[in-house]
Amino acid sequence: MYPSKSYLLSNGYKLLIRPAIAEDASKIIKYINHIAGESDNITFGPGEFDKTVEDEREFLKKINKTPTNILIIEIINKEIVSLANIQSGNRPRTRHTGGLGITVQKKYWHMGIGKSMMDYLINWAKSGKIIKKINLEVREDNFPAIQLYSKMGFIIEGRISRMLYINKKFYAVLCMGLKIVDESVKSS
């Protein structure tokens, strides 16, 4: 399992990042249900996450056995404040690309937590030698996230119109990607 990492945030909070384990299942479900009502920047709303604790436990066991998938949590004072993952396909033609998802509790926005998650996940991808590209989708009006992803080296590769439908309004998303450098592989 990839090692844990601690950060000291500018406000003095001590932040712990680590891979999620099966024993985290109930806390993760509580966290997800909480953030579902905080932001329209994610793909689900309140009450739409329908996994049971046992479902989540099995999901975490499975993800931790796959070298191309990871789900991490960030903890401050024993509370999950952020969750992120990279998941890839199993087939040889697609397992080198991972889709990234990230959430941060609203009261912890703009503290550097997103950057620390991105650093951790990019380093994890580089260390595994399998993931060669990380992809993500972000609402085109989520400027702080787009700015962070750009600073981390992601580039805009496309736009999907009407991807999200929230409060009777459509939103487009930008598709962004980051190539993980591997000099032994030719790239196009």
For residue 156, being part of any structural domain is answered with no
Q: How many domains does the chain divide into?
A: 1
Residue 105 domain-assigned?
Answer: yes
* Residues whose CB is less than 8 angstroms from the CB of residue 105 and which lie 6 or more positions away in sequence, other chains included: 31, 34, 35, 38, 80, 81, 82
pLDDT digits (tens, 9 = 90+) for 125-167: 999 989 999 999 999 999 999 999 999 999 999 999 999 999 9
Q: Alpha helices, DSSP H only, in the chain?
A: 25-35, 53-63, 113-128, 143-151
Assign 120 a pLDDT band (cuts: 50, 70, 90).
very high
- Give the angle subtended at the CA of 136 by the CAs of 161 and 144, to the nearest 5°: 85
pLDDT surpassing 80 at residue 184: no
Q: How many CB atoms lie within 10 A of CB 50?
A: 8
Evaluate whether 96 touches 130 at the Cβ level (below 8 Å).
yes
Residue 43 resides in a domain = yes
Give the C-alpha distances (Å, rounded to integers) separating 119 from 7, 50, 148: 11, 30, 11
pLDDT of residue 183 exceeding 60: no
Domain enclosing residue 13, as ranges? 5-132
pLDDT above 70 (res 182): no
Q: Please report, for the domain that includes residue 64, its CATH number.
A: 3.40.630.30
